[in-house]
Structure 1
Amino acid sequence: MTSSKNITAAQDIGDQGGTKTMAGMRADYNAHAHPVSGVQGGNDSVLSDPPDQSQ
């Protein structure tokens, strides 16, 4: 499907196999973090803060 306008879905959007949904992928993305190199210890964080995506 190709559209030059905004598209709004009334419900969640899933892939053809039905195993992944947009909401599920968004939750996975928002929960992920990355290792941070060069951490010195003490109060430093070994993982990055997760992204702040609400949509």
Structure 2
Amino acid sequence: MPPMRRKGDLPEKVCAQCGRPFAWRKKWERVWDEVRYCSDRCRAEAKKAAAKR
């Protein structure tokens, strides 16, 4: 088993919608390069904003 990592050592990104930083999650392990939003809410708001344009 790999050694434990501290939460502060995990990679971070900035949400494309709200601008807040968010950390890597295990469920995003395989798609981390494609993750742009910190939550489902931000992804939904981005879709609404794109539809209004």
**TM-score, structure 1 as length reference:** 0.26
| Structure possessing the higher relative contact order (Cα contacts under 8 Å, 6 or more residues apart) | 2
**TM-score, structure 2 as length reference:** 0.26
Q: Comparing both structures, which one devotes a greater share of its residues to helix?
A: 2
